[in-house]
């Protein structure tokens, strides 16, 4: 009988350095481009997850990355070290005068990653230089950066293809980097076509030859990047490079959202502090949202379908014993079980929310069922309350009769003129009623939604001065059924703040202005409800 073991073959290694490249290699994905603000938000969330290294960009390649590195000082990171990424100096050049190498030294990060070629054919046919010159480029670049006081990771580009073609030369490129002082040799499956058993065998050879840390960087062109990364760790690699949700060029990079729990929850390695594992699902969804990519519902561990059970038999079995159809407990990664036929799983979460508003409601009260039905109907229409809990709270209040309208909309009219006389091309007229008083007013804006936002706030300020404190901080639009083209349904999310609290509200409609209006109204009503509570609470 075969004995199956799942500890690393190098018995004393249990800590794995996770190296996130969502902001660098992930930004190579088609359709992805981050603002500097986006980058800072993602870095903060990665740090919260306990990631060890964050490769944040290439300061020598573009002004946006340069601006990010200039703002490094703002960040107060607890776990993560920022890595600046770049290449060796060019053929025939030297480190001291190479612009890219110099920008790495000036970037302000204490660690850098340098990529160099490990495949002989790439050296001769793509770089069009000699094998010796390539070794000099690798060694001298790394030596120079080490002299500058930086920690250096060497990314051995195409290492596995190179090893298969010419193992001797591939190992020489690693030796050049190690001798120059690289702290980690990261082996890249750049074209993404390798198999786990190849990766395992080759990493084992490399680990037996070098004393410094060995890393692994896989791409998903054969749909095996996760298995390849795990195979490398089992063979002795201690650094794993990848991206959140596996985003990246072509078929993507190795998906850290699957690798981390595979290694930590099943094989006993420590990738992140155990208490951070429960943030995995929320950071994965956050990263999709920031990149404006639709989240992958069937993503392992973190997808909304990952623990969804459909067939009646499966549901019965899962109710008896979850392990019957679940490979892990979904709560470990901050996800949850979904029972698609009867919403029993969601009921206790829902009840907690209802009880915050009315503690008298019970699990089997008719109101609970009623709100459950309303929730299902709205989700069917395209609403999604995962991020818009404030809109959901308003719905619960309305269903429970715990809500008094603050104003009534009589009418609005939005006009967009092209060409516009002034710089602003949009205007909105609005008529509302508060008690017995009607108010009609108008405002201009940068686009129709902005005009409407200005107008409704102007109309309400007279009645509710607290509205002045509210500032909208985020506005997101997602087209739901995009094949219906310009008649498609859109979902708008608006984030607001009054500098004490932030809240997010939602609107869904076939018309972007109407969807925005629904979310705007919720944002205002939520503020007024909180204001009312503040005034009535301490009598």
Residue 99 interacts with a copy of itself (CB under 8 A): yes or no: no
Q: Provide the token pair at 218.
A: 């896989």
| Sign of the C-alpha dihedral computed for residues 67, 69, 75 and 78 taken in this order | positive
Contact between 42 and a copy of itself by CB under 8 A: the answer reads: no
Window 261-300: contact mask with a copy of itself (x via CB under 8 A): -x---xx------------------------x-x--xxxx
Using CB under 8 A as the binding rule, whether residue 306 contacts a copy of itself is answered as yes
Facing residues of 434 across strands? 437
CB of 319 to a copy of itself, least distance (A): 10
CA pair distance 469, 503, nearest whole angstrom: 13
**What minimum distance in Å lies between the beta carbon of 94 and a copy of itself?**
20
| Structural tokens at position 326 | 């679940």
Q: Cis before residue 419, ω within 30 degrees of 0?
A: yes
Site membership for a copy of itself, residue 223 (CB under 8 A): yes
Give the gyration radius of the chain's Cα atoms: 28
Q: Are 260 and 300 in contact (CB under 8 A)?
A: no
349 near a copy of itself, judged by CB under 8 A: no
Nearer to a copy of itself (CB atom), residue 361 or residue 492? 492
* Phi, psi at 151, each rounded to 5°: -75, 135
> CA distances (Å), 356 to each of 142, 184, 353, 402, 528, in order?
58, 51, 5, 12, 18
The verdict on 533 binding a copy of itself (CB under 8 A) reads no
320 is a contact residue toward a copy of itself (CB under 8 A): yes
Confirm if 118 and 162 have CB atoms less than 8 A apart: yes
Which of 79, 106, 136, 314 binds a copy of itself (CB under 8 A)? It is 314
**124 near a copy of itself, rule: CB under 8 A:** no
Number of amino acids touching a copy of itself (CB under 8 A):
133
Task: Name which position in 66, 353, 409, 466 contacts a copy of itself (CB under 8 A).
Answer: 409
Q: Collapse the DSSP code of 86 into the 3-class scheme (helix H, G, I; strand E, B; otherwise coil) and give the result.
A: strand
Question: Residue from 26, 162, 183, 192 that binds a copy of itself (CB under 8 A)?
Answer: 192
Q: Hey, which residues between 143 and 162 contact a copy of itself (CB under 8 A)?
A: none
The verdict on 74 binding a copy of itself (CB under 8 A) reads no
- CB-nearer residue toward a copy of itself: 40 or 395: 40
Among 270, 408, 469, 474, binds a copy of itself (CB under 8 A): 474
Cα 358 versus chain centre, distance: 35
Please tell me the distance from the alpha carbon of residue 368 to that of residue 384, in angstroms, as a whole number: 19
Q: CA 175, CA 10: separation in Å to the nearest integer?
A: 21
Candidate residues 415, 438, 469, 502; the one interacting with a copy of itself per rule CB under 8 A: 415
Q: Considering only residues 133, 179, 201, 270, which one is a binding residue for a copy of itself as defined by CB under 8 A?
A: 201
In this structure, are residues 244 and 213 in contact, taking their beta carbons and an 8 Å threshold?
no
């Amino acid at each position: 009988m075969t004995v199956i073991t799942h500890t690393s073959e190098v018995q004393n290694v249990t800590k794995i350095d996770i190296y996130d490249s969502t902001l660098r290699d992930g930004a190579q994905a088609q359709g992805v481009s981050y603002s500097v603000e986006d980058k800072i938000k993602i870095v903060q969330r990665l740090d919260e997850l306990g990631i060890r290294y964050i490769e944040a960009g290439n300061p020598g390649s573009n002004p946006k990355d340069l601006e990010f590195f200039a703002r490094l000082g703002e960040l107060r990171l607890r776990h993560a070290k920022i890595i600046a990424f770049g290449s060796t100096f060019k053929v025939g050049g030297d480190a001291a005068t190479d612009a890219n190498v110099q920008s790495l030294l000036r970037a302000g990060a204490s660690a850098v990653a340098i990529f160099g070629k490990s495949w002989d054919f790439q050296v001769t046919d793509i770089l069009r230089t000699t094998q010796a010159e390539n070794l000099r480029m690798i060694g001298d670049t790394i030596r120079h950066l080490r002299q500058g006081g930086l920690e250096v990771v060497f990314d051995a580009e195409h290492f596995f293809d190179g090893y298969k073609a010419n193992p001797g030369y591939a190992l020489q490129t690693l030796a050049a980097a190690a001798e120059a002082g690289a702290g980690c040799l990261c082996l890249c499956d750049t074209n993404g076509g390798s198999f786990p058993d190849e990766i395992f065998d080759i990493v084992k050879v490399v680990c037996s030859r070098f004393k410094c840390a060995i890393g692994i960087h896989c791409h998903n062109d054969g749909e095996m990047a996760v298995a390849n990364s795990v195979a490398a760790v089992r063979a002795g690699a201690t650094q794993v490079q990848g991206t959140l949700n596996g985003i990246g060029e072509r078929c993507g990079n190795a998906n850290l959202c699957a690798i981390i729990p595979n290694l930590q929850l099943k094989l006993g390695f420590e990738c992140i502090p155990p208490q951070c594992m429960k943030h995995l699902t929320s950071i994965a969804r956050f990263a999709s949202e920031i990149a404006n990519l639709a989240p992958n519902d069937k993503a392992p561990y973190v997808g909304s379908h990952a623990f969804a059970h459909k067939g009646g038999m499966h549901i019965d079995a899962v109710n008896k014993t979850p392990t019957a159809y679940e490979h892990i407990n979904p709560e470990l990664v901050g996800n949850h079980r979904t029972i698609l036929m009867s919403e029993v799983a969601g009921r206790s979460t829902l009840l907690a929310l209802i009880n915050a508003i009315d503690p008298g409601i019970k699990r089997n009260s008719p109101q609970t069922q009623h709100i459950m039905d309303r929730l299902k109907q709205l989700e069917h229409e395209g609403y999604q309350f995962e991020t818009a809990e404030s809109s959901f709270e308003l719905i619960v209040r309305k269903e429970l009769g715990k809500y008094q309208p603050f104003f009534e909309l009589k009418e609005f009219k939005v006009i967009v003129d092209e060409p516009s006389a002034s710089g602003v091309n949009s205007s909105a007229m609005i008529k509302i009623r508060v008690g017995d008083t009607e108010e009609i007013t108008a405002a201009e804006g940068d686009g129709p939604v902005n005009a409407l936002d200005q107008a409704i706030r102007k109309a309400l300020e007279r009645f509710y001065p607290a509205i002045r404190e509210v500032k909208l901080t985020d506005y997101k639009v997602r087209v739901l059924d995009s094949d219906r083209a310009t008649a498609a349904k859109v979902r708008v999310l608006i984030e607001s703040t009054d500098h004490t609290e932030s809240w997010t509200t939602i609107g869904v409609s076939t018309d972007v202005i109407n969807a925005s209006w629904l979310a705007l109204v919720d944002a205002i009503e939520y503020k007024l409800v909180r204001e009312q509570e503040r005034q009535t609470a301490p009598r």
